[in-house]
Amino acid sequence: MPSADLICEVRTEGGTYSDWLTVEVSQSWDAEWMRNFRLTCAEPSDKLLQRLLPGSRVDIAMAGQVVIQEGYIKTRQAAFDSNRHAVQIVGYSKAGRTVYGSAEAGTGQFRGYKIDAIANRLLKQHGLNFRVENGPSGWDTPFPNVVIRYGETPFDAISRLCRQRGLWLRADKAGNYVAGVSDGGDGAMFQEGVNILSANCSIEDPSVDNVIMNAQQSGSDSLFGRKASEISAKSQLSGGSGLGLSRKVLAEMPLGQKELQLRTNMESAALEADRVRVTLSYQGWLKPSGSLWDLGDWATVRSPMLFPLANPQMRLKLWGYTYAQSPEGQTTTAIELVNAGAFQLKNPDGQQSDGFLNPSASDAQPEAYT
C-alpha cells in the first residue's frame, strides 16, 4: 500500500477517490492565482463516472492535507480505444467562479471606501471574503471614487485595485482572496546533489534604470490645473542599464500622489521578480518541514551550477508551485522562486544593493511630470 504522503484524494459527498493515474495541482502569482487541478484516472468505475461531473463540488487533499476546499469541477474529458479507458477532470478552487461572471448589479460605484470594503462587497455573492496580509504602508488609503466597469468580473475589479495599492493577489484553499505577502512560513533548504531532482536559473538584466508612472485626478474647485492633470512618481532600480533609461507607464485609473507611488512600487516589484527566477523539482509533495507550500514562502537554494557567486546560495521567495504525479506513479513538486527584492522595496537611503544577489528597487517618490 502506498505511503499516505503520496496519495491525492478527491473528496465528494458521494465518497473519496484516490486511484489516480496522473495528478497536477498548481498555483502561482501569474494566471493560476486561484489554485487549479487536473486529474486523470484509468479504467474508471461507474460510481466515479456518475459523481465527478462538471459543476460537482470537491475537496482536494495532498498527502492528507487539504489544498483546495469546496472547489469545483469545470471540465470532464473522456477517451477510450480497444485497450484503454480514461477520464480527466479539470477544475479550480471556489475563487474560480469570480473569474467568469460579471459583478452583480448594485456594485457599480464606491466613494471613499477602502479596498477591503470594496472587495468584500464584490465577493459577497460568491460567499467569499477578502483580507490583507502584510500590506505595504498606505494600502488602506480610501479610494475617492471607484467605478466598476461594465461587464467587469469581481476578479478583474479587485485585481485592478490591488495593483493600485501595491498588493499581490492570491486565493487560499477555501477560495478567499488574500492580498499581500505571507511572512514566509517555516522556509526550506534545497541543495545541489542532495535533494534537488532538476533545476534551472534565469538571471535577467532589467534593461532600465527606473520606472516612472503618470496619472490624473478629477478636477474640483480646490484641485485643478497641473496638480490634477500631471501627477507622476518614480522608483529607481538597482543595477540597471546605467544609461538613465526609464520605463514609463500610464496608471489604469485616476490616482493621487501617494496612491500613484504605491502603483509605481508594484510596477517596479514586477520587474524585480523577473531578475532572478529559479525553478526546481524535488521528490514528494511536502516541504522538508512536512507542510504544503503557500505563495510567498521562503526557500534557500545552494547550487554552484545556478549561481555564479563565491558563496553560491540565495534566499528566495516562492512564486508558484505544482504538485504532480506521473503515470508511472512518481510524485514530484516543481516550485518557482524569485528574487526576494520584489517584495522588499528599499527606501532611497537604504543600503546599497549587492548586485543580482539581492537587488531591490527604491520606494517610489514624487516626480516632476515628464
pLDDT of residue 229: 63
- Domains of the chain in start order, with CATH, are 4-92 (2.30.300.10), 98-180 (3.55.50.10), 183-370 (no CATH)
**Average pLDDT in the 144-172 region?**
94
- As a whole number, the mean pLDDT across the chain is 86
**Which pTM does this prediction carry?**
0.87
pLDDT band per the 50, 70, 90 thresholds, residue 80: confident
Report which of residues 350 and 175 the model is more confident about: 175
Report which of residues 47 and 316 the model is more confident about: 316
The x, y and z cell numbers of residue 163, run together, are 495593483
Residue the block writes with cell 485609473: 253
How far are the Cα atoms of 48, 181, 281, 293, 319 from residue 133, in angstroms, in the given order?
39, 6, 28, 16, 16
Contact 241, 209 (CB under 8 A): yes
3-state secondary structure 21-45: CEEEEEEECCCCCCCEEEEEEECCC
pLDDT greater than 80 at residue 270: yes
pLDDT of residue 115: 97
Per-residue pLDDT tens over the stretch 22-40: 999 999 998 789 999 999 9
**Average pLDDT in the 277-304 region?**
94
Percent of the chain exceeding pLDDT 90 equals 56
Per-residue pLDDT tens over the stretch 300-335: 999 999 998 899 999 999 999 999 999 998 999 999
pLDDT of residue 289: 87
Q: What residues contact residue 369 under an 8 Å CB cut-off, 6+ apart?
A: 214, 226, 230, 231, 232
Per-residue pLDDT tens over the stretch 217-256: 765 545 555 666 678 889 888 777 778 889 899 888 888 8
Q: Return d(Cα 320, Cα 29) in angstroms, integer.
A: 6
In one-letter notation, the amino acid at residue 20 is W
Name the least confident of 101-115, 191-205, 332-346.
332-346
Q: What residues contact residue 324 under an 8 Å CB cut-off, 6+ apart?
A: 22, 23, 24, 331, 332, 333, 334
The closest alpha carbon to 63, from 282, 290, 257, belongs to: 290
pLDDT of residue 346: 41
How far are the Cα atoms of 12, 78, 315 from residue 59, in angstroms, in the given order?
7, 21, 33
**Average pLDDT in the 208-225 region?**
73
The x, y and z cell numbers of residue 156, run together, are 478583474
Residue the block writes with cell 477544475: 91
pLDDT band per the 50, 70, 90 thresholds, residue 347: very low
* H or E stretch covering 70: strand 65-80
pLDDT of residue 64: 93
